[in-house]
Amino acid sequence: MPEPVHRVTFMPDDITVDVFRHGETLLRVAMAAGVHINASCGGNGTCGKCKVIVDRGLVESKPSAKLSDEQWEQGYRLACLTKVMGDLVVTIPPESRIDNAALKARTGGKRHILKARDLNTLVQGLTVDPAVWKLYLELPPPTPDDNLSDLGRLMRELKRRHGLDGISTDFRLLTRIARLLRDADWQVTVTLVYNPKGLKLIDVEPGDTTERNFSIIIDVGTTTVKGQLLDLRECRVAAAGKDCDDDEEANLLAEDARYNSQVRFGEDVISRIVHSQKGDGLRELQQAVVGDINEIIRALLGQSGIDRENLSHMVVAGNTTMTQLLLGIDPKYIREDPYVPTANFFPPVRGIDIGLNLPEHVHLYTFPLVSSYVGGDIVAGILGSGIFQREDLTLFIDVGTNGEIVLGNCDWLVCTSCSAGPAFEGGGVKHGMRATRGAIEQVRINPETFEPMVITIGNRKPLGICGSGLIDAVAEMLITGIVEPNGKFNRGLGTDRIRETEGAWEYLLVPAAEADGVGDIVITEGDLDNLIRTKGAIYAGCRILLESVGMTFAELDRLIIAGGFGQFINLERAVTIGLLPEIPVDKFMFVGNGALLGARLVSFSREMMRDARRVSDMMTNIELANNMRFMDEYVAALFLPHTDTNAFPEVMKLIHPDPAT
């Protein structure tokens, strides 16, 4: 865990919290600490409700029309506009506070966000041995007594100096090797790639370019495409295993992400598959994502100043549909019962053959996959989190448009996929949106007044609510009694925020006046229903996997949350609504982007490349589509947190703070 840089004590409750980022706003510090400060404008200074008094310590703050000159002199500041620059003592004045005794019980929740780097420690015996590497050779020029062929000369040197043998050669390279060797005066750098059939010589460059060996790894998500540029030089790779002061990996040179342009043909994999069956649809989808990756390549090269010619390898992890669409392979049967992908492993293909703007020799390694709905991204996540190497029992959950779940250890792995629905990505929710600027990401609700405190991404006026914000809001509404366990609003609370509009019930989260031109931002009973179905499917899926091996949540040694989404949800809130099981908090772990994590390992280690194949072979897929037991579990989970309240004793205490009821 990182060290705190400052501490802030909130008075009069005397709650002291650690601050990990210099310049963090006081509002976020308070929210993270569970200290309630009224605020409904998302943190952009317009509502003026989050007044605090800075008693002691260094802050940077902006004046506001909501503060009089007299108040400014007295130390009043808006918490949302005030940055923590040193240790502070801050008083929350009566108008901004409520009695937060009820909230105290909920403080201390840690996010348990693990840096990807830390995960290197999860994977055992990672020897640095990249799948693509370079060797500098100084060849003796041919003479009448030694007039071996050019390729033979290269191979002889690889054998003599490096003990390498049985290397195959890319045909296209042979068309230019003769002149190249002579122009380079027989001093060249060769690029070798390890693939399932052995070693292959893919490039020869003049001079010594061993210092320029780079890989691009890509996570092709249904919604987002992310890329990283990695330095494969051995020294850099070795450094990655060491402690870094910096947040960035020593070998991570650049990062970029874009929305998947396929979105214009459909939000989810099913609608994309439908589109692929129309006329030129398959080609359109392929070109869309290839275009995105080309943009990412350009951005990564631009950021790092690295030449395209020095790229040696590309690794792609994506779900099954994304993988097939990228490769131009008809995904039709992925969505037709019995849901069959074309292959579990696609042979490496040259990037330029599918339209990627890469040097001729760069091959695309796509992660092996398990089934139509447990794809290469999940195999990458399992690889990256080291589950397949450990004896203890891990449950791995990746929540995105779908929820993929894996259970197992070094001896066995079972997996499944639930059609979770896109609630967590803003889909099917009236004011849902993706986690971008203006999205409400944190919500607190005053249990007495039922007034909310919201923080948006970027501290902007609210535009809508993202997945983590929805979970936060629903958890708050459940705890405060605004929502009943059956997912209906409590209509007798006497607050105007719970209201009926056009025959449907809703909770007013942000009135139009404080929102960013989108009218009232509300959470409807329809939204609740959607969220409950989504969380219910995931929870039920976990139960089915455990049941398939005769186990329960209690027997888990670890529960790993993967996916971009996992980085933003508050663990305890996810447990509160019954998305995650109530198990000891220290068993949870967030791994961030498992796909990129696995892709990086495969870039750095041939052993890991072999393991990726082994992991995909090990994984037994359980189909939930026609599974009656799943239906039972699913129905039982359509409650907040669950019909089986015994499984959520701590959550039940929050919901019923008065033990008498």
- Binding site residues, its own copies, CB under 8 A: 142-144, 146-153, 168-171, 174-179, 182, 196-198, 327-330, 332-333, 337-344, 346-347, 349, 353, 371-372, 621, 623, 625-626
| Percent of the chain as helix, strand, coil, to the nearest 5 | 35, 25, 40
Give, for 614, the enclosing helix (H) or strand (E).
helix 606-618
Least Å from the CB of residue 273 to its own copies: 12
Whether 128 and 238 have beta carbons less than 8 Å apart is answered as yes
User: Hey, which bits of 433-536 come out as E strands?
Assistant: 439-445, 452-456, 464-465, 498-501, 504-510, 521-524
Give, for 607, the enclosing helix (H) or strand (E).
helix 606-618
Least Å from the CB of residue 308 to its own copies: 23
Least Å from the CB of residue 339 to its own copies: 6
By C-alpha distance, which of 506, 557, 565 is closest to 538? Answer: 565
By C-alpha distance, which of 374, 347, 310 is closest to 541? Answer: 374
Sequence letter at residue 57: G
Q: Which of 228, 371 has the CB closer to its own copies?
A: 371
Least Å from the CB of residue 381 to its own copies: 20
Whether 619 and 611 have beta carbons less than 8 Å apart is answered as no
Q: Which of 142, 511 has the CB closer to its own copies?
A: 142
- Burial of residue 567 (CB within 10 Å: 0-12, 13-18, 19+) is middle
Q: HSE, CB side, 13 Å, CA atoms: give it for residue 488.
A: 6
Checking DSSP bridges between strand 88-91 and strand 132-138, what pairing results, if any?
unpaired
Q: Which of 455, 622 has the CB closer to its own copies?
A: 622
Identify the bridge partners of residue 6 per DSSP, sorted by sequence position: 19
Q: Which of 87, 623 has the CB closer to its own copies?
A: 623
Least Å from the CB of residue 215 to its own copies: 20
Least Å from the CB of residue 165 to its own copies: 13
Least Å from the CB of residue 169 to its own copies: 6
By C-alpha distance, which of 19, 14, 45, 23 is closest to 31? Answer: 19
Least Å from the CB of residue 345 to its own copies: 8
CA distances from 476 to 223, 442, 483, 549 (A): 28, 10, 9, 35
Least Å from the CB of residue 380 to its own copies: 18
Q: Which of 309, 623 has the CB closer to its own copies?
A: 623
The answer for residues whose C-beta is within 8 angstroms of residue 596's C-beta and 6 or more apart is 116, 217, 219, 226, 228, 317, 380, 384
Rounded Cα distance between 429 and 447, Å, is: 24
Three-class SS string for 30-97?
Answer: HHHHCCCCCEEEECCCCCCCCEEEEEECCEEECCCCCCCHHHHHHCEEEHHHEEECCCEEEECCHHHC
Least Å from the CB of residue 336 to its own copies: 9
Angle of CA points 328, 332, 333, to nearest 5°: 120
By C-alpha distance, which of 505, 504, 480, 475 is closest to 493? Answer: 480
Q: Which of 355, 458 has the CB closer to its own copies?
A: 355
Q: Which of 100, 616 has the CB closer to its own copies?
A: 616
Least Å from the CB of residue 549 to its own copies: 18
Least Å from the CB of residue 399 to its own copies: 24
Rounded Cα distance between 132 and 168, Å, is: 14
Q: Which of 177, 435 has the CB closer to its own copies?
A: 177
Neighbours of 452 (CB within 10 A): 23
Q: Which of 35, 132 has the CB closer to its own copies?
A: 132
Q: Which of 89, 274 has the CB closer to its own copies?
A: 274
Identify the bridge partners of residue 557 per DSSP, sorted by sequence position: none
Q: Which of 169, 567 has the CB closer to its own copies?
A: 169
Rounded Cα distance between 546 and 395, Å, is: 9
Least Å from the CB of residue 638 to its own copies: 24
Q: Which of 175, 661 has the CB closer to its own copies?
A: 175
Output the CA torsion 504→506→512→518 (10° steps): -70
Whether 369 and 582 have beta carbons less than 8 Å apart is answered as no
Q: Which of 171, 305 has the CB closer to its own copies?
A: 171
Least Å from the CB of residue 624 to its own copies: 11
Neighbours of 209 (CB within 10 A): 19
CA 419, 424, 430, 436 torsion-angle sign: negative
Rounded Cα distance between 127 and 198, Å, is: 18
By C-alpha distance, which of 539, 619, 564, 226 is closest to 398? Answer: 564
Q: Which of 155, 288 has the CB closer to its own copies?
A: 155
Q: Which of 18, 623 has the CB closer to its own copies?
A: 623
Least Å from the CB of residue 357 to its own copies: 19
Q: Which of 39, 369 has the CB closer to its own copies?
A: 369
